[in-house]
Amino acid sequence: MTDIKSLTFPELQAFVLDSGFPKFRAAQISGWLQKGVTDFDEMRNLPESIRSYLKTSCYISVANIEKKFVSRYDKTVKYLFSFCDGECVESVLMSYRHGWSICISTQVGCKMGCTFCATGKSGYSRDLTASEMLAQIEAAQRDQNIRVSNVVLMGMGEPLDNYENVLRFLRIVSDEKGLNIGMRHITLSTCGIVPKIEQLARERLQINLAVSLHAPNDEIRSRTMPIAKAYPMERLLEACGYYFEMTGRRVTFEYALISGVNDSDACAKELGKRLRGMNCHVNLIPVNTVEGTGYQKSNLQRQQSFENILAADGVTATVRRTLGSDINASCGQLRRKHLKEGGQ
């Protein structure tokens, strides 16, 4: 069976032609797929012969809303989606002044095992296909009757550990004939798989790269992020420089402030020294408390002090506003709870 939503538009055209149908049918099929139809019978402008052929040769991948939480404080909506094999992932839809942004998952679970992360704690099941990444966006758009303008690959999973499917997703989601969300409106977050960052840089896409740093040196970093043992920070920062060189896009560093672990003034000074002169931005995020980790957020004074020290070195940093704080909007927590309650 062909996963029809994972085909790029030229591939869909080739598929339609190979199946003996006129080329213009590809645009019709693609139009329906973007509307989020879940059944070929909903494609009303296709003749019955084509619909029944599609039914026997293809499937439409769908993200079913398993659970949904709407924040009382802002318009944030958190979804637990399930796919045809019952596996679940989380997505978070957020409203900003410039429009709707969605944070989607790229894998069911994650292999990287960061100690502060709820996703890392519940292990890895499988990669998502490109169509399953698209399906999360379409399902949220359909549910809220809105158009998403920004996408962040910051949900469950490590996008660069699922490189081929993520690249395919990026090409389809940004296609004018697809959801048409421009590359500049897409952010990919990685824990720092250096060779894959370099490979991504060579694709010269215009997507924003976010790198989860969370420490000023390898010693502290490897306490929370196993990937730090495979790729030292020196190489990681070089790869980020290379990404900027190849794409012209400024890299963002994610830094979760964990009380007593990585939030001292000394950490801020060391980080400032390392990042000084780099074309980058630092997002400071008070760590989300995940059950069983024992980690606590840094207090407001620590957050402020950290930001000020970076600023003194000319490194721009902002403490990120938390949306959906009442619905555990940071990813991985909902699926973990679902698993504990006996879900798949």
Asked if residue 158 binds ligand SAH (CB under 6 A), the reply is: yes
User: Rounded distance, CA 337 to CA 205, Å?
Assistant: 36
C-beta separation of 272 from 311 below 8 A: no
User: In the complex with ligand SF4, which residue's Cβ is closer, 50 or 285?
Assistant: 285
Q: Which parts of 168-197 interact with ligand SAH (CB under 6 A)? A: 189-191
Closest CB to ligand SAH among 118 and 172?
118
* Three-state secondary structure call for residue 199: helix
Q: Which is nearer to ligand SF4, 74 or 161 (CB)?
A: 161
Distance CA 54, CA 319 (A): 49
CB of 189 to ligand SAH, least distance (A): 4
127 binds, among ligand SAH, ligand SF4, none (CB under 5 to 8 A by kind): none
Sign of CA dihedral 344, 114, 283, 323: positive
Q: Enumerate binding residues for ligand SF4 (CB under 6 A).
A: 110, 112-114, 117, 119-120, 157-158, 191, 212
Closest CA to 62 of 85, 33, 42, 83: 83
Contact string 17-46 vs ligand SAH (x = CB under 6 A): ------------------------------
For residues 10 and 294, which CB has a smaller minimum distance to ligand SAH in the complex? 294
Closer residue to ligand SAH, CB minimum distance, 239 or 290: 290
Contact predicate 118/336, CB 8 Å: yes
Nearer to ligand SF4 (CB atom), residue 138 or residue 254 = 254
The residue whose Cβ lies closest to ligand SF4 is 120
Give catalytic residue positions. 90, 331
Query: Among all chains, which residue has been given the structure tokens 């024992």?
Result: 294
Binds 254: which of ligand SAH, ligand SF4, none (CB < 5-8 Å by kind):
ligand SAH
The contact mask relative to ligand SAH for 280-299 (x = CB under 6 A, - = no) is -----x-xx-x---------
Give the residue ranges of DSSP H helices in 232-323: 233-247, 265-275, 300-312
On whether the CB atoms of residues 285 and 233 are closer than 8 A, the answer is: no
Q: How far is the CB of 287 from ligand SF4 (least distance, A)?
A: 11
Considering the rule CB under 6 A, would residue 92 count as an interface residue with ligand SAH? no
Alpha carbon distance 43, 91 (integer Å): 27
- DSSP symbol at 225: -
The one of ligand SF4, ligand SAH, none whose footprint includes residue 256, by CB under 5 to 8 A per kind, is ligand SAH
User: What residues are paired with 307 via a beta bridge?
Assistant: none
Kindly write down the DSSP assignment for every residue of 85-108, as one continuous string: TS-EEEEEEEEETTEEEEEE-SEE
Q: Does 330 bind ligand SAH (CB under 6 A)?
A: yes
Give the residue carrying structure tokens 């990937």. 227
- Which of residues 21, 116, 169, 243 is near ligand SAH by CB under 6 A? 116
**What's the chain's Rg over C-alpha atoms?**
21
Can you give the binding site for ligand SAH, defined by CB under 6 A? 116-117, 154, 158, 189-191, 212, 254, 256, 285, 287-288, 290, 330
